[in-house]
């Protein structure tokens, strides 16, 4: 066999492999978009890709949004995605800022993810950072926003994210750190829990003594709604 023919066969093989995996990806995205996401309107997830990757499971009781402290909801939205109730899943300003920061640092240091994108990541992807995962987050965030209300997105997010090593969902986090229900969380409790979200494995430690006068409460707790 001539080298020219061998090269041509290799190109055909690589093309077929690429098309095969592309088809699998499209089928996977199609299933999520057309079946899994619409079901989230009325069905609470019992497992996520992120938790499966960690080797954990959801054990806490599901907390409806009305059963979660307003202090926590306010703190999480302001801290994680200040324009959550104004955008449609993507915050282009944050994405643009993150792009230039990552370009300047020459590495992936900031994602610019909205709460909806973080929800997509937790539900369907592993913690590994990649351009493929970021692209998938964007596609699925748009689909989540088209199917679910903002309050439902926030409710699912608070009930599935990681709040410490092996701690998933706001009910388990509330019990673990404070021995109380999500609805009973105070301003101080909410401040501590919100601080965990950026890096749960690093920051998910026992909270400071609530009687301590040195405990600082972020200014946004005192802002008008």
- Strands 162-164 vs 167-168: parallel, antiparallel or unpaired: antiparallel
Asked if the model's pLDDT at residue 120 lies above 90, the reply is yes
pTM comes to 0.81
Q: What is the DSSP letter of 163?
A: E
pLDDT value of residue 12? 75
- pLDDT of 1-17, one tens digit each? 677 777 777 777 777 77
Mean pLDDT score across all residues of the chain: 83
Considering the chain, what percentage of its residues have pLDDT values greater than 70? 78
Q: How confident is the model at residue 61 (pLDDT cuts 50, 70, 90)?
A: very high
So where are the chain's domains?
Answer: 1-39, 47-222
Residue 136, by phi and psi: left (phi above 0), alpha (psi -120 to 50) or beta?
A: alpha
- Give the pLDDT score at 136: 86
pLDDT tens for residues 37-55? 999 999 999 999 999 999 9
The listed range with the strongest mean pLDDT (91-100, 167-176, 202-211) is 167-176
| Percent of the chain whose predicted confidence (pLDDT) is above 90 | 52
The b/e string for 107-141 (b: 16+ C-beta within 10 A; e otherwise) is eeeebbbbbbbbbbbbbbbeeeeeeebbebbbebb
Tell me if 194 sits within 8 A of 203, measured CB to CB.
no
- 75/192 Cα distance (integer angstroms): 10
- The pLDDT, as a whole number, for residue 221 is 46
Task: Work out the average pLDDT over 50-78.
Answer: 94
Spell out the residues 6+ positions from residue 137 whose beta carbon is closer than 8 angstroms to its own. 113, 117, 120, 121, 125
Q: Count CB-CB contacts under 10 A for residue 208.
A: 12
Q: Which of 130, 132, 98 is nearest to 113 (CA)?
A: 98
Q: What is the pLDDT of residue 204?
A: 83
Topology of the domain covering 47-222: Penicillin binding protein transpeptidase fold (1.10.3810)
Residue 204: burial class (beta carbons within 10 Å; 0-12, 13-18, 19+): buried
Segment 134-144 mean pLDDT: 90
What's the confidence (pLDDT) of residue 101? 61
Instruction: Tell the burial category of 46 from Cβ atoms under 10 Å away from its Cβ (0-12, 13-18, 19+).
Output: exposed
pLDDT band at 174 (very low <50, low <70, confident <90, very high): very high
Q: Output the CA torsion sign for 202, 208, 210, 214.
A: negative
Per-residue model confidence (pLDDT) at position 209: 59
Average pLDDT over residues 165-182: 95
Reported as a single tens digit per residue, the pLDDT across 196-220 is 999 998 888 776 655 544 445 455 4
Residues 162/200, Cβ–Cβ less than 8 Å: yes
User: What confidence tier does 27 reach under pLDDT thresholds 50, 70, 90?
Assistant: low
At residue 31, the pLDDT reads 72
């Amino acid at each position: 066999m001539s080298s020219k023919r061998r090269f041509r066969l290799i190109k055909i093989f690589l093309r077929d492999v690429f098309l095969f995996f592309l088809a699998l990806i499209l089928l996977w995205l199609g299933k999520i978009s057309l079946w899994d996401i619409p079901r989230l309107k009325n069905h609470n997830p019992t497992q996520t890709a992120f938790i499966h990757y960690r080797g954990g499971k959801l054990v806490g009781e599901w907390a409806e949004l009305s059963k979660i402290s307003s202090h926590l909801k306010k703190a999480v939205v302001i801290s994680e995605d200040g324009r959550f109730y104004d955008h449609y899943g993507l915050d282009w300003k944050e994405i643009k800022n993150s792009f230039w920061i990552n370009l300047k640092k020459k590495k992936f240091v900031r994602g610019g993810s909205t709460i909806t994108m973080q929800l997509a990541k937790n539900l369907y992807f592993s913690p590994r950072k990649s351009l493929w995962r970021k692209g998938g987050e964007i596609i699925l965030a748009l689909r989540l926003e088209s199917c679910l209300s903002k309050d439902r997105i926030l409710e699912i997010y608070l009930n599935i994210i990681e709040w410490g090593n092996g701690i998933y969902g706001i009910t388990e986090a509330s019990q673990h750190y404070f021995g109380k229900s999500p609805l009973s969380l105070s301003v101080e409790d909410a401040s501590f829990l919100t601080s965990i979200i950026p890096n749960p494995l690093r920051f998910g430690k026992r909270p400071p003594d609530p009687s301590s006068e040195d405990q600082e409460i972020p200014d946004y707790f005192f802002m008008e709604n």
